[in-house]
Structure 1
Amino acid sequence: MISRRLLRIKNMHIVYAWLRNPEGSIEQYHKELQKSITSFEDLYYTFFQLLIEIHHHLLQEIERKKAKHLPTEEELNPNMRFIENPAMQAIVNDEQIQSYVRNNHITWNDNTDLVKKLAHEIEESNFYNRYMVREEEPDHKAHKEVIITILTDIIAASESVFEALEEKSVYWNDDIELVLSMNIRTVERIKRTYRLKPMKLFKNEADQEFVYALFRKTTAHFKDHQEIIKKTASNWELDRIALMDKVIIALGITELRNFPEIPVRVTLNEYIEMAKFYSTEKSNTFVNGVLDKIVLQLKNNNELNKIDGSIFDKDKNNH
């Protein structure tokens, strides 16, 4: 579920925080990295739990109206299409969601007004009413599309949801849009058997090993990497280089030296993109130039041990 790009970004944030506050131990920041990563999974299940609680609220409203002293004919025979939506039922009844939510104490109980507000917005929306009143029985695609549209047009568009999430966890600010896309993809993948398959946090064990090894090796050799940067960026005083650039380049050096299965081209592209979005206006050009020179140095020193060494030769002229 969590991509290597995001694993690199989370490393960047934690290494940057460590350098800003060097009094903290490496073990402490390693735990912060773990929290930052597991919080991604927490957010994924938090969005599903929000859907479940909206569904539960809509069902409760139906039951409340039925129990009125003088219910109308419509209240006695409500439209149950969304309540009985098989894709939504797959989410509500999924044992993995239930277990994760229970074990990690994920709840929207402190945000009942928000749940009611979202439920009302859904009931008032055009897409929901088209789904509810269409004459023919909705097909498999339509059942999923109404849930996806709730995620994209109601939940993702709600400032109140974002504010509530910010209060729940400091780790979620940068992850919300990406995690929502994972929830949407999970719904899209529901097959006609209507069995949900929640995504795993890591794609495989290699990704899990990668993220923590990248942190350990970058922090352990950070001073050495700064010497490499100093020699490579000879026209710059080291203290004039943005701290974030130093972090990004150090991560890049670690990856080039220690992960032979990752092509040089991939490493360069990833860290140049990170510099573009997380550092100064000209950082991507600076990081690009420095990393290109470091790649040449590592290759000349036989320190660029790549499974497919030809990748560098084919791609070096593209940077």
Structure 2
Amino acid sequence: MINRRHIRVKVMQSVYAMLQSHNDDIIKEEKFLKHSILKMYDLYVLNLQLLVEVQKLAAKKIALSKKKILATKEDLKPNTKFIDNKLINTIAESVSVEGYLELNNLNNWEENDEYVKIIFDQLQSSNLYKKYLATTDDSYKIDKAFVIGFFKEIIAPNEKLGEYYEDTMISWSDDIPFVNTWIVKTLSKQKDNTIFVLGKLYKDKDDEEYVSKLFKKTVLKNNEYEQIIEEKTPNWETDRIADIDMILIKMAISEFLNFHSIPTRVTINEYIEVSKDYSTEKSSYFINGVLDKISKEFINNNKIVKIGRGLL
């Protein structure tokens, strides 16, 4: 499922796009934000289905080999360990996966089967695959470890597949690392003799509402928050502050004032971490300093009201 940090990244990107385009249609931009998060779930499902499609291709090649006129002993009695893999078969039989693919018309691997072949060829030539086929232990534990290794070592780092994803959906370029981690967690949690069910997109209703509220509060209070930042950075002209830094600080201010269950220190730490991936080398220090000043003033003026977990 999507976590709060990645939600912050998605909101940051939408706020940046809206401010840069000088677009004031907040309803349209909010819909696009939610759409980009929903499409991230497509990426999650497509990666899981890719495991199944590679297995199907392996089974097809085995069936064709058996029909050779001069079939070898290996052709007639092939190693079926991969096509018998218990975890991949569980995904292939999943009503949850099949239903999502049909409902959302995700037939990417039928229309772009060259990527299935690319992954299968790489898998076949890997030591991971050869070692797995040579294993005599027929356990779910071995099968699961192989599938996780297959995804982490071959699918996730494949550059051609990555380029295909980025060309398919522009927002996926930032989603790929997060989705890859999500898939590994999903595969790791799967247990023997249990049906495969897709993970939830949001942890709960609060996280889903957090997306809209953080986006709207930040955009609607943009000028007000900018004034607060100017007061705390007298030695800086606003046009000298990196655009992403400004947006992250504004989002943090929005969290200080509007999200009573999020501790102030958690907010500051989260935006510092986001800045390390998306802004300049020194941004984290700048953001930390500005947010520390603002939070202390807000606390002294009783502007920050925290309850429950937010008091921690």
> Scaled by the length of structure 2, what TM-score is found?
0.95
Distance in 2, matches of 1:264 and 1:24, equals 29
Query: Within the alignment, does 1:33 sit opposite 2:33 as a pair?
Result: yes
Does the CA contact (< 8 Å) of 1:91 and 1:196 recur in 2?
Answer: yes
Distance in 1, matches of 2:151 and 2:276, equals 29
Query: Within the alignment, does 1:108 sit opposite 2:109 as a pair?
Result: yes
Query: Within the alignment, does 1:98 sit opposite 2:92 as a pair?
Result: no
Provide, for residues 214-272 of structure 1, a one-character-per-residue CA deviation record: whole Å limited to 9, x for no partner: 00111111111111111121222222222211111110000010111111110010112
Distance in 1, matches of 2:28 and 2:298, equals 32
The percentage of aligned residue pairs carrying the same residue is 38
Displacement of 1:117 after TM fit? Answer: 2.3
Displacement of 1:158 after TM fit? Answer: 1.3
Query: Within the alignment, does 1:44 sit opposite 2:44 as a pair?
Result: yes
Distance in 1, matches of 2:193 and 2:210, equals 35
Distance in 1, matches of 2:6 and 2:249, equals 16
* Structure 2 counterpart of 1:68: 68
* Structure 2 counterpart of 1:273: 273
Provide, for residues 41-83 of structure 1, a one-character-per-residue CA deviation record: whole Å limited to 9, x for no partner: 1110010121111111111111111222342332222221111
Distance in 2, matches of 1:154 and 1:309, equals 41
* Structure 2 counterpart of 1:174: 174
3-state SS of 1:108 partner: helix
Does the CA contact (< 8 Å) of 1:186 and 1:196 recur in 2?
Answer: no
**Residues 115 and 274 of structure 1, relative CA distance in 2, 3 Å threshold:** same
Does the CA contact (< 8 Å) of 1:11 and 1:33 recur in 2?
Answer: yes
* Structure 2 counterpart of 1:127: 128
Distance in 2, matches of 1:47 and 1:247, equals 32
Distance in 2, matches of 1:190 and 1:274, equals 30
**Residues 230 and 52 of structure 1, relative CA distance in 2, 3 Å threshold:** same
* Structure 1 counterpart of 2:15: 15
Displacement of 1:115 after TM fit? Answer: 1.3
**Residues 297 and 309 of structure 1, relative CA distance in 2, 3 Å threshold:** farther
3-state SS of 1:305 partner: coil
Deviation larger for 139-148 or 4-13: 139-148
Amino acid in the other structure paired with 1:132: L
Does the CA contact (< 8 Å) of 1:245 and 1:283 recur in 2?
Answer: yes
Query: Within the alignment, does 1:248 sit opposite 2:248 as a pair?
Result: yes
3-state SS of 1:175 partner: helix
Distance in 2, matches of 1:253 and 1:192, equals 46
Distance in 2, matches of 1:309 and 1:117, equals 48
Does the CA contact (< 8 Å) of 1:186 and 1:197 recur in 2?
Answer: no
* Structure 2 counterpart of 1:118: 119
Distance in 2, matches of 1:276 and 1:123, equals 38
* Structure 2 counterpart of 1:196: 196
Distance in 2, matches of 1:23 and 1:117, equals 42
**Residues 172 and 309 of structure 1, relative CA distance in 2, 3 Å threshold:** closer
Displacement of 1:104 after TM fit? Answer: 1.6
Does the CA contact (< 8 Å) of 2:91 and 2:196 recur in 1?
Answer: yes
Provide, for residues 147-171 of structure 1, a one-character-per-residue CA deviation record: whole Å limited to 9, x for no partner: 1111111112211111111121111
Distance in 1, matches of 2:119 and 2:243, equals 42
* Structure 2 counterpart of 1:87: 87
Amino acid in the other structure paired with 2:102: R
**Residues 310 and 193 of structure 1, relative CA distance in 2, 3 Å threshold:** closer
Distance in 1, matches of 2:172 and 2:129, equals 29
**Structure 1 runs (4+) greater than 4 angstroms displaced:** 308-312
Q: Across the two proteins, how many residue pairs are aligned to each other? A: 311
Deviation larger for 78-87 or 107-116: 107-116
Q: Which runs of 5+ in 1 are unaligned?
A: 313-319
* Structure 2 counterpart of 1:291: 291
Displacement of 1:101 after TM fit? Answer: 1.2
Amino acid in the other structure paired with 1:153: E
Provide, for residues 163-202 of structure 1, a one-character-per-residue CA deviation record: whole Å limited to 9, x for no partner: 1111211110011122111111111111121422321000
**Residues 66 and 161 of structure 1, relative CA distance in 2, 3 Å threshold:** same
